[in-house]
């Protein structure tokens, strides 16, 4: 996908929104009800900025909407109060989420130094230069936007830990219809400063190492950057968090900490999931005398 849209730091997107309204007429009530039910899709959505050491912009939430809607629609429905700046068309992607944090300061303070050093070496420092004419590193107050932190940063996402679907390996985009998304899928948006390599995603990061004479990244000099750590699945954790009733108790808070821990291990994720289970919740209530 990155090869298709080389001028964009990220060409992946996500979809959401709108519930189907079943219009019923007495003689055909059953057929209409079945059609309406068949057209609905339930997905789970969250929006994370773990590479900046911060809590999610949108915590895990369950949304149900017509499966003709898109990943972008589903993302908008997850929290209508958070603004989204997205492109349109077949390869639509999200450019920015509304966010009032000081993301430049967070990047400087919290981005893993070993990741920064690796990327600086592999790209010959190109992606961190702030004096390239047509590849600026920006600051957009009130938003977390692509090209903040470095020149290739931006938003990417996975669906059930995958960036593709179908036998042909078609890339998901924000414009992908939910009919192409599995039932109860987890749509996980994440901010990255390395096209996904710093999220542990394989086969996603091809980073430039030179600049053209007229001030653009020379994508012909791109090199593949392997995942900077071993990524584990948090899909089950995200589903359980969205479905968990008491978002203020210690089990949920512990799960949230694990979710936003960039390099959490599978054991840590499994332990957080266990803490959200009915048996664990009941035990904690008994201990506390509730």
Strand order across the beta sheet in which 143-145 lies: 84-86, 94-98, 143-145
Q: Flag whether pLDDT at 113 surpasses 60.
A: yes
Sign of CA dihedral 200, 204, 209, 215: negative
Q: Are 204 and 198 spatial neighbours (Cβ–Cβ below 8 Å)?
A: no
Q: Which residue has the higher pLDDT, 207 or 15?
A: 207
Average pLDDT over residues 1-26: 38
Q: What is the pLDDT of residue 284?
A: 54
Q: Flag whether pLDDT at 76 surpasses 60.
A: yes
How far is residue 2 from each of residues 6, 124, 179, 252, 260, measured CA to CA in Å? 6, 20, 24, 36, 26
3-state helix/strand/coil string of 157-182? EEECCECEECCCCEECCCCCEHHHCC
Confidence at 13, pLDDT banded by 50, 70, 90: very low
Kindly report, residue by residue over 149-208, the tens digit of the pLDDT.
Answer: 999 999 999 999 999 999 999 999 999 999 999 999 999 999 999 999 999 999 999 999
Q: What is the pLDDT of residue 23?
A: 36
Kindly report, residue by residue over 254-286, the tens digit of the pLDDT.
Answer: 999 999 999 999 999 999 999 999 866 555 554
Q: Are 208 and 219 spatial neighbours (Cβ–Cβ below 8 Å)?
A: yes
Confidence at 38, pLDDT banded by 50, 70, 90: low
């Amino acid at each position: 996908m990155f090869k298709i849209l080389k001028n964009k730091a990220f060409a992946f997107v996500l979809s959401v929104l709108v519930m189907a309204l079943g219009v019923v007429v007495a003689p055909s009530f059953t057929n209409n009800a079945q059609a309406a039910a068949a057209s609905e899709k339930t997905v789970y959505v969250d929006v994370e900025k773990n590479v900046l050491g911060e809590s999610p912009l949108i915590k895990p939430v369950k949304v149900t909407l017509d499966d003709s809607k898109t990943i972008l629609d589903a993302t908008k429905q997850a929290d209508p109060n958070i603004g989204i700046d997205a492109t349109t068309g077949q390869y639509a992607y999200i450019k920015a989420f509304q966010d009032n944090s000081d993301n430049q300061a967070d990047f400087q303070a919290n981005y893993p130094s070993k990741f920064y050093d690796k990327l600086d070496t592999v790209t010959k420092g190109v992606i961190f230069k702030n004096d390239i004419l047509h590849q600026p590193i920006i600051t957009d107050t009130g938003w977390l936007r692509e090209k903040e932190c470095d020149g290739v940063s931006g938003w990417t996402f996975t669906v059930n830990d995958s960036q593709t679907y179908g036998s042909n390996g078609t890339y998901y985009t924000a414009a992908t219809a939910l009919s192409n998304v599995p039932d109860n899928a987890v749509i996980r948006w994440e901010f990255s400063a390395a096209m996904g390599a710093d999220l542990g995603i394989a086969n996603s990061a091809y980073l430039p190492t030179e600049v053209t004479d007229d001030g653009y990244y020379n994508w012909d000099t791109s090199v593949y950057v392997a995942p900077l750590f071993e990524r584990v699945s948090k899909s089950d954790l995200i589903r359980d968090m969205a479905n968990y009733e008491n978002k203020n108790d210690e089990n949920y808070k512990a799960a949230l900490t694990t979710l936003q821990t960039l390099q959490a291990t599978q054991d840590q994720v499994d332990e957080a999931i266990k803490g959200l289970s009915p048996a664990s919740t009941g035990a904690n209530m008994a201990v506390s005398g509730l």
